[in-house]
DNA sequence: ACAATAAATGAACGAACATTCATTTATATT
DNA sequence: AATATAAATGAATGTTCGTTCATTTATTGT
């Protein structure tokens, strides 16, 4: 039998992500993708059940890579500060090294496909993070707080800076390293506030 | 001559925003909007030049309301802490009171229309904020920093919490008031970090 | 009552859309 | 070399899209 052309398959994925980032999810169409990847429209339906399936599969695949990148060198049993700093840098690295793929994931996260792409993956990821937080609490490194407050303090400023960066706004100095320090010192503030 | 039915015009705007928030910018179409608003498709082209014009006008209008809401009771000559806290609460109030419209603006901000909708308005708004920061610096209430770092510290955690809230995630306790205090105390951290 | 005028309409246009299908092409096994 | 099999295709399907236009409707000033 004839084997699937993996180069072609990869090209389709690449062009799809490119087009979505360039023209938005509404500017994306199967016929345009086929033309851009130099493939028949019908071929896309060999790889994917339909348009939605294509988007979900691509999103799931890239989201998996993101989570893997975030958890690189990370272990839930780490000391809190070390774990936080590693994740912080992993996140910054991923976004700065793969801005197009990051923007693709961002678009999916703000679309109706959000649930189908991220729900299962996020559950697993949040369990790991939950274990990490639980350890930190047990070790009295942090006081109990909700995941949401934790997130808003730990990573929101970073992502905001990254978005400025992605939008082509020049960030003088080294705001990322700077922001990491702010993140860490802010936790001290939160600890104090939660005690009061 | 016959006058324009203002009730109909308002209904069109309302349904358009509803549909965009519900189905995303790619799920939005002129024919569906016409049907949902009980209007002929041709009528939409009396109100708006074309689909893009409709989105830009609606976006511009709502963005104007948002900026007005943010600047309510605010004056650039205020003391820094007072000004910050007023803006902080204004932002929280707008999002919590008008989640649908806020989500609509969010979608436009992540779309190719971004520039045409927000550029001119943001320029004006950023001038006001620039004056506020300049005053605070002149009064030695804050040290100089870029707009981006300022934003990431001042409002990023708030918006993150708001997004959790909009997604229907319950926020135990009163994380918004809590987050305001964190914001303010974090500025103390930033001041210290910038001095070092 | 009538003329003037702009709002509002339903039907229609070609273009682009997602998807399908009969056919052809390439390869692994016999 | 012949066969089997799945990949790959180009053309075509029906649907929905944005937009237009000839016509009708409602309201003002005469």
pLDDT greater than 80 at residue B169:
no
Q: Which protein residues have any CB–strand D distance under 7 A?
A: A 1-5, 8-9, 38-43, 46-47; B 1-3, 28-32, 41-42, 44-45, 50-52
Please write the tens of the pLDDT for every residue from A24-37.
Answer: 998 999 999 999 99
B133–chain A nearest CA distance, Å: 18
Check whether residue A36 and residue A69 sit in a common domain: no
Instruction: Compute the distance between CA of residue B64 and CA of residue B72 in angstroms, rounded to an integer.
Output: 12
Q: Are residues A19 and A110 in the same domain?
A: no
Q: What is the mean pLDDT of residues A144-163?
A: 87
Q: What is the pLDDT of residue A95?
A: 94
Q: How many CB atoms lie within 10 A of CB B41?
A: 13
Among A25, A47, A69, the domain boundary falls at: A47
SS3 string, chain A, reads CCCCCHHHHHHHHHHHHHHHHHHCHHHCCHHHHHHHHCCCHHHHHHHCCCHHHHHHHHHHHHHHHHHHHHCCCCCCCCCHHHHHHHHHHHHHHHHHHCHHHHHHHHHHHCCCCHHHHHHHHHHHHHHHHHHHHHHHHHCCCCCCCCHHHHHHHHCHHHHHHHHHHHCCCCCCCCHHHHHHHHHHHHHHHHHHHHHC
Cα-based distances in Å from A147 to A71, A129, A144, A189: 17, 9, 9, 17
pLDDT tens-digit readout, B71-95: 999 999 999 999 999 999 999 999 9
Using CB atoms and an 8 Å cut-off, which of residues 40-79 of chain A contact chain B? none
Contact A156 B151 (CB under 8 A): no
Query: Once rounded to an integer, what is the mean pLDDT over residues A74-95?
Result: 95
Q: Are residues A82 and A177 in the same domain?
A: yes
Residue of chain B minimizing CA distance to A154: B157
In a domain, B106, yes or no: yes
Same domain, A65 and A30: no
CA dihedral B47, B25, A96, A158 (to 10 degrees): 80
Domain stop point among A9, A26, A47: A47
If asked whether residues A18 and A67 sit together in one domain, one would say no
Residue A196 pLDDT exceeds 70: no
Within 8 A of B148 by CB-CB distance, chain A residues are: 160-161, 164, 169, 171, 175
Same domain, A13 and A71: no
Centre a 10 Å sphere on the Cβ of residue A55 and count the other Cβ atoms it contains.
22
Residue A156: its chain B contacts at CB < 8 A?
Answer: 152, 156-157, 159-160
CA distance linking residue A40 with residue B54, whole number of Å: 35
Specify the pLDDT at position A150: 85
**What tens digit of pLDDT does each residue of A48-68 get?**
999 999 999 999 999 999 999
Q: Spell out a b/e string for A27-50, using b for 16 or more CB atoms within 10 Å of the CB, else e.
A: ebebeebbeebebeeebbeeebee
Structure tokens, B111: 């779309």
Which range in A11-20, A152-161, B2-11, B179-188 is most confidently predicted, on average pLDDT?
A11-20
Quote the pLDDT of residue B174.
Answer: 77
Residue B58 lies in a domain: no
Give me the domain span that covers residue A129: 60-195
What rounded mean pLDDT belongs to chain B? 90
In a domain, B125, yes or no: yes
- Shared domain for A132 and A82, answered yes or no, is yes
Give residue-wise pLDDT tens across range A166-185. 777 777 777 887 788 778 87
Interchain CB contact of A164 with B (< 8 Å): yes
The stretch A159-171 carries a mean pLDDT of 82
* Chain A / chain B CB contacts < 8 angstroms: 112
Assess whether A14 and A105 both reside in one domain. no
Is B20 contained in some domain? no
Both A26 and A92 in one domain: the answer is no
Measure B6 CA to nearest chain A CA, in Å. Answer: 30
Region B13-41 average pLDDT: 96
Residue B160 lies in a domain: yes
Cβ within 8 Å, pair B153-A182: yes
Percent of residues, chain A, with pLDDT higher than 70: 96
What nucleotide is nearest B43 when CA is compared to C1'?
C8
- Positions on chain C within 7 A of a protein C-beta: 4-12, 16-22, 25-28
List of chain B residues whose C-beta atoms are within 8 Å of the C-beta of residue A152: 156-158, 160-161, 164, 175, 179
Same domain as A109, residue A37: no
Residue A78 shares a structural domain with residue A161: yes
Please tell me the distance from the alpha carbon of residue A144 to that of residue A123, in angstroms, as a whole number.
20
**Minimal CA separation from A47 to chain B, in Å:** 23
* CB-based contact, B177 to chain A, within 8 Å: no
Any B CB within 8 A of A145 CB: no
**CATH number for the domain that contains residue A2:** 1.10.10.60
In the predicted structure, residue B192 carries a pLDDT above the cut 70: no
Identify the pLDDT of residue A108.
93
Q: Quote the percentage of chain A above a pLDDT of 90.
A: 66
Same domain, A70 and A154: yes
B190 contacts A182? CB cut-off 8 A: yes
3-state SS, residue B143: coil
Distance B183 CA to C19 C1' (A): 52
The whole-chain average pLDDT of chain A stands at: 90
Counted domains in chain A: 2
pLDDT score recorded for residue B168: 75
CB < 7 A to strand C: residues 23-82, chain A: 28-32, 41-42, 44-45, 50-52
> Predicted ipTM?
0.85
Q: Which nucleotides of D are covered by protein (CB under 7 A)?
A: 4-12, 16-22, 25-28
Angle at B59 between CA B54 and CA B65, to 5 degrees: 135
Q: How far apart are CA A106 and CA B104, in angstroms?
A: 16
**pLDDT at position B178:** 75
């Amino acid at each position: 039998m004839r084997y699937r052309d993996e180069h072609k398959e990869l090209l389709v994925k690449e062009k799809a992500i490119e087009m979505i980032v360039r023209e938005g999810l509404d500017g994306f169409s199967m016929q345009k993708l086929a033309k851009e990847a130099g493939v028949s429209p019908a071929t896309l339906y060999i790889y994917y059940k339909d348009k939605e399936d294509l988007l979900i599969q691509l999103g799931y695949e890239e989201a998996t890579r993101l989570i893997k990148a975030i958890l690189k060198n990370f272990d839930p049993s780490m000391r809190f500060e070390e774990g936080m700093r590693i994740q912080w840098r992993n996140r910054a690295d991923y976004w700065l090294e793969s801005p197009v793929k990051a923007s693709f994931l961002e678009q999916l996260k703000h679309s109706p496909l959000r649930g189908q792409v991220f729900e299962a993956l996020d559950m697993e990821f949040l369990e790991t993070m939950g274990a990490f937080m639980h350890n930190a609490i047990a070790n009295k490194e942090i006081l109990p707080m909700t995941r949401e407050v934790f997130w808003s303090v730990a990573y929101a400023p970073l992502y905001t800076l990254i978005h400025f960066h992605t939008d082509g706004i020049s960030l003088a100095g080294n705001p990322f390293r700077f922001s990491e320090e702010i993140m860490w010192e802010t936790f001290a503030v939160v600890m104090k506030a939660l005690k009061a």
